């Protein structure tokens, strides 16, 4: 019974998110009300807020949720933080289709790119991700060095992600975008590992 209840909750959550994204894509984030989203998803407003505490969270789900700190913390002995993160991004670039619903992602990215409020909210989430990474890196280095390393790593990864998303929005297939991302990952981590004075 618990499994059925959880599946129904997940279906409701997806229905709400899909209705919100559709409305935001059609009319813009600011022009759509919570009441309209609830009506389109056929749920009560209170139900919507059980799944999504804010209007922004309807679009920003998944943004900044990648656990960079967890990837670094769980790395095997002898592997550097950069090696662990490079391996993670190499794996994603090799099979992006396994992790991405292209059409939904394109809609989500267009809505975020078109809204200053959502872009700012995404930056706040990414700042939290950077702070968490800095805390893990500080276990092996001093606080300033960890903060600087985290800033460089997350800025590079954000650039990789934005480039990947913009390629998809511009019409690239997942396979093409993933192939180009694979080269971008190598370039980014080479620069992080060896600096720009090569």
What are the pLDDT digits (tens) for 16-70? 999 999 999 999 999 999 999 999 999 999 999 999 999 999 998 877 678 899 9
Kindly state whether residues 158 and 85 are assigned to the same domain: yes
Kindly state whether residues 8 and 76 are assigned to the same domain: no
Kindly state whether residues 51 and 125 are assigned to the same domain: no
Cα 190 from Cα 198, distance rounded (Å): 10
In the chain, the number of structural domains is 2
Which of 59, 79, 102 is at the close of a domain? Answer: 59
Residue 122's nearest CA partner among 168, 56, 67 is: 56
pLDDT bracket for residue 99 (50, 70, 90): low
Kindly state whether residues 8 and 91 are assigned to the same domain: no
Kindly state whether residues 52 and 94 are assigned to the same domain: no
- Does 124 score more than 80 pLDDT? yes
Kindly state whether residues 97 and 17 are assigned to the same domain: no
Between CA 173 and CA 177, with CA 174 as vertex, the angle to 5 degrees is 85
Range of the domain at 78: 62-194
Kindly state whether residues 81 and 38 are assigned to the same domain: no
* pLDDT number for residue 53: 93
Mean pLDDT calculated for residue range 130-134: 94
Kindly state whether residues 164 and 67 are assigned to the same domain: yes
Average pLDDT value over all residues in the chain: 89
pTM score = 0.77
Which CATH number is 42's domain given?
Answer: 1.10.10.60
- Does 153 score more than 70 pLDDT? yes
Kindly state whether residues 89 and 121 are assigned to the same domain: yes
Cα 171 from Cα 42, distance rounded (Å): 32
* pLDDT number for residue 47: 94
* pLDDT number for residue 95: 80
């Amino acid at each position: 019974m618990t499994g059925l209840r959880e599946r129904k909750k997940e279906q409701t959550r997806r229905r709400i998110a899909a209705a919100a994204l559709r409305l935001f894509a059609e009319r813009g984030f600011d022009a759509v009300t919570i009441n309209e989203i609830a009506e389109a998803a056929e749920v009560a407003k209170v139900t919507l807020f059980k799944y999504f505490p804010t209007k922004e969270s309807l679009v920003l789900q998944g943004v900044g949720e990648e656990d960079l700190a967890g990837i670094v913390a769980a790395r095997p002995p002898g592997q550097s933080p950069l090696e662990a993160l490079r391996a993670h991004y190499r794996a994603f670039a090799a099979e992006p289709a396994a992790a991405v619903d292209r059409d939904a992602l394109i809609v989500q990215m267009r809505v975020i790119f078109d809204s200053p409020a959502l872009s700012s909210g995404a930056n706040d989430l990414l700042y939290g991700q950077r702070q968490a990474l800095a805390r893990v890196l500080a276990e092996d280095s001093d606080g300033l060095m960890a903060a600087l390393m985290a800033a460089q790593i997350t800025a590079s990864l954000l650039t990789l992600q934005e480039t990947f998303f913009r390629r998809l929005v511009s019409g690239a297939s997942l396979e093409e975008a993933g192939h180009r991302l694979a080269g971008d990952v190598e370039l980014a981590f080479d620069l992080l590992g060896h600096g720009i004075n090569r």
